[in-house]
Amino acid sequence: MENKKFYITTPIYYPSDNFHIGHCYTTIIADSIARFKRLSGYDTFFLTGTDEHGQKIEKKAKECGVTPKEYVDKIVDNAKDLWASLNISYDKFIRTTDKEHEEVVQKIFKKLYDQGDIYKGEYKGLYCTPCESFWTETQLDENGNCPDCHREVHEVKEEAYFFKLSKYQAWLEEFLDSHPDFIEPTSRKNEMINNFIKPGLSDLCVSRTSFKWGVPVSFDEKHVVYVWIDALSNYISALGYLTDDDTLFKKYWPADLQIVGKDIIRFHGIYWPIFLMALDLPIPKTIVVHNWITMKDGKMSKSKGNVIYPEQLIKRYGLDATKYFLLREMPIATDGLFTPENFVQRYNFDLCNDLSNLLNRTVSMINKYYEGNVPEYNGTQNDVDDEFEKAGENVISEFEEKMNEYEISNALQTIWSYIARTNKYIDETAPWSLAKVVEGESEDEKEVKQEKLKSAMYHLVASLKEIAILIRPFLNETSNEILRQLGI
C-alpha cells in the first residue's frame, strides 16, 4: 500500500491552571481523527503540548512563591496524567520550554530579522504597574481600568521588535482565496477576513523587555520572544525543523490537519501562514475551527465557578461515556451547551439502551441457543436478511465520507443509526419464536426455523463486529469490550 502520511496537531495549551473539559474537547477530537487515520492505513503523527512562557505564568508562579518552571512542571505532570487517563494517543508532547524548541525559536527569529521581516521599534501599551501587565484598550474593564485589579492603567512605551505583517497582506488575501479548504468552516474564514484582514494588518509586536519568562532574542538578550513566534513554531520545531535531525520534518510537514478553537483562529489563519511564507515553507492543508463548550451561564471560567473537570465525569460515568458525549453532542460549528441532563440522557439512551442492549441481547441469545458458540450458517438468505444486509452496505462509506470531512458528530450519528437498525433486525427476526418448539411442526418447518435462527445470530455478530470497529477511534474501551464478549 502507498505510504500515506497524516500530521495532526492540537493547540498547545497554557499551563496556567489544570485543564478542564474545554481543553479535553480539542484533544479528544484530534485523538479520534488520529486513530481513524491510523486504522485507515495512514502513517500518522499526532502532536500536542503546552505553551509555557509569558507574563501570566510568570505572575502566577510568583503568587505561589515558586519559579515559573516549577509552576509549569507541576501542571504539565497533571496534564500528562490527564491525557493518559483519557487514553490520548499522541506521538509527541512538546513543551515550549524544551531546549530544542527554544533553540529553533531563536533561529527562526534571527532568520526573519536577517531577511528584514523583523525590525526594531517601539511598543505603546496600557500598563498596570501593580499587576505588571500590559493591556489593550478592549481588554480594560467598564471604567477603563485594569481588568484584574481594577486600578488605573497608564500609557507606557518600550522598545520592541515587530514583524512586518503588512508586507504579506496581499499575499495572504490571494492565498485564502485560492485555498478554499484551508480554513473550515468557511464561515469562520469569512469572519476572519472581514474583522481582521480587510481593515488592514498592522505590524505585530514579537518581543518584550518588561518580563523575563520567555525565549531570549539571541542577538539582543534584554528582549524575550513574545507569544506567537514562540507558540506557533512548536508545530515545526516538534518535527526537528532547523535542527541536526529533521527527518520527521521532511516526512510529515506540512500538517494535514490543525485543530483550533474559535478564539485562536486569527493567529492560525493570519500569523501562521504568513510566518511560514516568510520562512519559505509549505502551508498546512486544513485548519478546523471548533466552537466552545458553554454552560448555562456562558463560557466556562474559574471566576464563575462553572468549570467542569473531566475527572469527575470519568469517575462517575466512565471514559467512553465522557468522550461520547463530547464528540456527539458538541457540534464543531456552533457552541455546544453542556448540561448534566443532556449528558445523562446521551449516556442512558445511546450507550445503555441502544448499544449495550444490542450487545447483551445478542450475547445472551447465543449463550442460550448455541451454548455460546456462533452457529455455522450455510448462507441461505431470506428477505429480512437481504434487507438488513443492504442497510449495512452503505454504512462504512457514509461513515468514511463524514470522517474525511471531519464531521465527527455526524459520523457517530451514522454508526448509531446502524445500531438502531440492528436492534430492529432482532425485532424483525424474533429469534425467541424461531427457537420455540411448536407442537405438530413438520421436520421441514423445524429446519427452516433453525436456519433462520442461525442466520439471525450470524448477522447480529457480524454487525456488532462492524460496529466495534467503527467506534474504535472514539470509544476504544467499548470496542475492546464488544470484541472480547464476541470472542474476536
Binding site for ligand MSP (CB under 6 A): 11-14, 22-23, 25-26, 51, 231-232, 234, 260-261, 263-264, 292-293, 299-300
Closer residue to ligand MSP (CB): 16 or 210: 16
The minimum distance between CB 312 and ligand MSP, in angstroms, equals 16
Minimum CB distance to ligand MSP, residue 377 (Å): 47
Residue nearer to ligand MSP on the CB measure, 21 or 248: 21
Cβ burial, residue 116 (10 Å; 0-12/13-18/19+): exposed
DSSP 279-322: TT-PPPSEEEEE--EEETTEE--TTTT----HHHHHHHH-HHHH
Instruction: Determine phi and psi for 272, rounding to 5 degrees.
Output: -60, -55
Q: Whose Cβ is closer to ligand MSP: residue 26's or residue 44's?
A: 26
Q: For 40-135, where are the alpha helices, taking DSSP H only?
A: 55-64, 68-85, 99-114
**Between residues 291 and 463, which has the closer beta carbon with respect to ligand MSP?**
291
Q: Nearer Cβ to ligand MSP, position 12 or 464?
A: 12
For the bound state, the minimum distance from the C-beta of residue 146 to ligand MSP, rounded and expressed in Å, comes to 20
**CA–CA separation, 421 vs 461, rounded Å?**
14
Q: How far is the CB of 342 from ligand MSP (least distance, A)?
A: 15
**Residue reference for cell 450455510:** 378
Contact 314, 85 (CB under 8 A): yes
Closest approach, Cβ 272 to ligand MSP, in A, equals 8
Strands 257-261, 286-290: parallel, antiparallel or unpaired by DSSP?
parallel
User: Least Å distance between CB 459 and ligand MSP?
Assistant: 40
Q: From the CB of 264, what's the least distance to ligand MSP, in Å?
A: 5
- Quick one: which H or E segment has residue 12? strand 5-13
13 or 418: CB nearest ligand MSP: 13
Q: What's the grid cell of residue 243?
A: 535542527
Residue 6 or 235 having the CB closest to ligand MSP:
235
Whose CB is nearest to ligand MSP? Answer: 261
If one counts every other C-beta atom within 10 angstroms of the C-beta of residue 295, the result is: 17
Q: How far apart are CA 291 and CA 298, in angstroms?
A: 13
